[in-house]
Amino acid sequence: MPKMNTSRIVLGGLLAGLIMNVSEAALHAGILGAETESLYQRLNAPPPMSIAIPLTLVAVTFVIGITSVWLYAAVRPRFGAGARTALLAGFVVWVVAHLWSGVYLGVGYFGIIPGRLAWIPIVWGLFEATLATLAGAAIYKEPIN
């Protein structure tokens, strides 16, 4: 089995993470921003003000991007190079990251987290994870021996 090209995993993963971060910003600050603000008001909770919170979310999203391309590289020898395998890897990332967290929020905090704030990110994340992994995987190449 060929070795993985670590530098290409990181490079492709950073691209995937950038796409994911832009997408998350558009979703949570843009599309769901007013509803999120409403939730904080309804719960009489102050919105997070520490810069550490968005920095942590951005950093972890880059880790997810790198992980998605690593997963693509890991399954590539078994499923073949290309878009189908990248979309499969992105789908797995979606299941582990988006589907799980959305169901957890929607079901685990039923009545506290409005359904739209839990379920819309699940659907959004399906496109985000698969397309970002596809873009990151396009950069990945096996190392030259």
Summarize pLDDT for 50-60 with one digit per residue, the tens.
999 999 999 99
Structure tokens at 53: 């919170």
Mean pLDDT throughout 47-69? 95
Residue 8 parent element (H or E): helix 6-25
Total domain count for the chain? 1
Residue 111 lies in a domain: yes
> CA-CA distance, 3 to 6, in Å (whole number)?
9
How confident is the model at residue 129, as a pLDDT?
A: 98
Window from 115-119, 131-135, 138-142 with minimum mean pLDDT: 115-119
Q: Whole-model pTM?
A: 0.92
Mean pLDDT throughout 101-124? 90
How confident is the model at residue 1, as a pLDDT?
A: 67
Helix and strand numbers, DSSP H then E, in the chain: 6, 0
Q: Name the residue among 85, 72, 75, 86 with its Cα closest to residue 1.
A: 75
For residue 117, the enclosing domain spans: 6-139
Asked whether 137 and 12 are in contact (CB, 8 A), the reply is: yes
How confident is the model at residue 145, as a pLDDT?
A: 66
Asked whether 71 and 89 are in contact (CB, 8 A), the reply is: yes
Residue 145 lies in a domain: no
Residue 144 lies in a domain: no
pLDDT digits (tens, 9 = 90+) for 31-45: 999 999 999 999 999
